[in-house]
Amino acid sequence: MRESRERALAMTLRHTLRSARTATVLAAIVVVAGGWMALVGSHDPGGPYGESAAAWAQAIMSVGAILAAVVIDQGSSRRDRQDRLETAAAARAARIRLLQLCATVLDNAAEAARKRPLKRGQRFEGLAVEAVRSAQQVARHFAERGSDSDPLLVWVLNVAVTEMDAAAAVLEGHRLATRADLAALERAARTRAQALREVLDEYQAGLYEP
């Protein structure tokens, strides 16, 4: 008898449970439970304290507790999903900024090569090369960490690592004997920067989506 009462009450609240948010559903549980108690009490010879009303009260409290727990758990799951989405979006934005930074660092290296005065025995060193090394290491770090939510972005990061490795190999410690050497360094850095920007632009445009 008690099980049939619980099933009847659960069916009455099911539609509300599916269509409302946590706070609204909990309020609905209280309202419906109160309505049931008032109805049962009006038909029980003992009023709200009669035997039938007491049995219904026990059933209502049991089912209500279960439904409240389910609603609260669903609300927590929604918050967890939202938190994960926000975290993934923040991580994606950080990686995109890193890729843009890599291209800017290569542009700066190209500009440094263009303006570098020639000196006997000089090599291409200094802040421009240090910046390339730093960006190279950070790009590799993010690429190795990967991303379950955006494998395409991981692929773009690996492309960035390849471009930064190639640029570093050309720029780092390169001898600067002639103007042609400086022009070659400038051209290499700008080419890598442009390649990186093109891949990033195509990724953001969704051209790599399956």
Question: Across 2-11, 72-81, 126-135, 184-193, which has the greatest mean pLDDT?
Answer: 184-193
Which pairs count as long-range contacts for 94-98, CB under 8 Å and 24+ apart, including other chains?
A: 95/142, 95/147, 95/153, 95/157, 96/153, 96/200, 96/204, 98/135, 98/138, 98/139, 98/142, 98/157, 98/160
> What's the rounded mean pLDDT across residues 174-198?
88
- Among 32-46, 116-130, 177-191, the minimum mean pLDDT is found in 32-46
Model pLDDT for residues 149-177, shown as the tens digit of each residue: 788 888 999 999 999 999 888 888 777 77
122: alpha, beta or left, given left = phi > 0 and alpha = psi -120 to 50? beta
Confidence of residue 193 (pLDDT cuts 50, 70, 90): very high
Mean pLDDT of the chain: 75
Query: Read out DSSP for 79-99?
Result: HHHHHHHHHHHHHHHHHHHHH
Please, what's the largest Cα pairwise distance for the chain?
A: 111
Q: pTM (2 decimals)? A: 0.61
What is the per-residue pLDDT for 116? 81
